[in-house]
Structure 1
Amino acid sequence: MEGFEALEDRITSMELKVFGKRNPHNFDFNTSIPVTLGLVDVNVLISSALSGRETIISTLTRLPELNECLDPNYEENLMSSDSKMEYVLAMEPEIKSIAEQLKNISNSLPVLDSEPIKNVPNNCDKLNKVAYSYLEIKQEHDSVSNNIIEAIQKYNDIMHSITKNLSQLESTITELEIAKQPKVVIE
């Protein structure tokens, strides 16, 4: 009998774990979920949990390959020495240009570190005022230039008109002078 009592005690402790503090002997089987449906639900949950496991396992097996691809030197490892040399030779003009620019910057570093350059942020207000006054002067200059161009066009129109009138006057005078000359009669 001791074996049955031990088995019964184990079932009772299991029922307490499963059903909680409510009395397992007063459990209403009519309102509970049938065991088969519960097992089906558990099976579905387990299979859905395990279905993602395959993708995780495949990702984990490819992890060394992914780490290799993420290595900054990956491209260099793929390229042969000849390819690297061709790439450097193709990039030679650009590399020389960048080196020249760096050389120019390093040569002008004393000028760039000078006190006037360092004071540029402090002189921004003055620079803005000068730029504004320059813009005003430029607008005035453009206005005066436009007025001068208009005056020159009017002057040209007047000179053209005067030249035309003088030309007509000269031709009229010439005709009158020819008409006033005595006519020579030939006998």
Structure 2
Amino acid sequence: MLLTQDELKEIDLIESRIVELEKRVSGSLQLTENYIPITDSLISTNALINTSLVGRDSVTAFMRRLTELDKLLDPTVEDRMMNLSAKMEEVLVMEPLLHQNVSALKHIQSLSSVLDSEAVKNIPSLTDRLEKLTLFYLDKKQETDAVTASVMDLLQQYNTIIMKITKSFVQMEDTVTKCELAVQRRKEVD
């Protein structure tokens, strides 16, 4: 098959573009005499792959189905397979969520002035100060925890003392009541 002059020019143009691409990919590396152009390397790799697949029916069947798999993994395949009524039903089901998302986006847009404010932009410069405040807070929290533990111990001691005093008063009242009853019986006997 003989190529026309225009076809030869197109092939030469493609070859020059590939050579330019190789130069961009390989950068400023010095081309040695052992250098194999990328296209030749790709052609030989393709030939090796095809040779290695000869006689392996399961692999060749898989390779033939790769295009089908690519079509099924395409995220737009669902859109092409669904009819218009199914798409409409899906949109109607998602309508409340879409309205919620729109209102959330409007709220975010209304708050964007806050996000663009100088105070928010200065946050990275305030990290040192925040770290110092955090350490100060942790120190104060430890002190507060120690004081709280001390107060809890004192409250426990106070409760113990009050309980003992209450028991003593109950015992004294019981003793006084017994004494009064004994005195009252003597008076009645006399």
Q: Give the Å deviation of 1:90.
A: 2.6
What's the counterpart of residue 160 of structure 1? 163
Unaligned runs of at least 5 residues, structure 1: 1-47
TM-score, normalization: structure 2? 0.60
**Distance verdict in 2 for CA 1:49–1:155, change over 3 Å:** closer
Structure 1 position 94 matched with structure 2 position 97: yes
State the one-letter code of the partner of 1:110: S
Give the match's secondary structure for 1:121.
helix
Q: Give the Å deviation of 1:93.
A: 3.1
Unaligned runs of at least 5 residues, structure 2: 1-50
What's the counterpart of residue 187 of structure 2? 183
**Distance verdict in 2 for CA 1:74–1:178, change over 3 Å:** same
The root-mean-square deviation of aligned C-alpha atoms, in Å, is: 3.2
CA offset digits 1:79-128 (Å, max 9, x no partner): 11222122223323332332222112111111100001000001101011
State the one-letter code of the partner of 1:157: T
User: How many correspondences in the alignment?
Assistant: 140
Query: Percent same amino acid at aligned positions?
Result: 40
Provide the C-alpha distance between the structure 1 equivalents of 2:133 and 2:62, rounded to a whole number of angstroms. Answer: 68
What's the counterpart of residue 123 of structure 1? 126
Deviates more, 1:128-137 or 1:142-151: 142-151
**Distance verdict in 2 for CA 1:96–1:143, change over 3 Å:** farther
Structure number with the higher helix fraction is: 2
TM-score, normalization: structure 1? 0.61
RCO greater where, 1 or 2, for CA within 8 Å and sep 6 or more? 2
Structure 1 position 173 matched with structure 2 position 176: yes
Task: Output aligned runs, 1:36-185, within 5 Å.
Answer: 51=54, 59=63, 63=67, 65=68, 68-69=71-72, 71-181=74-184, 182-185=186-189
Give the match's secondary structure for 2:188.
coil
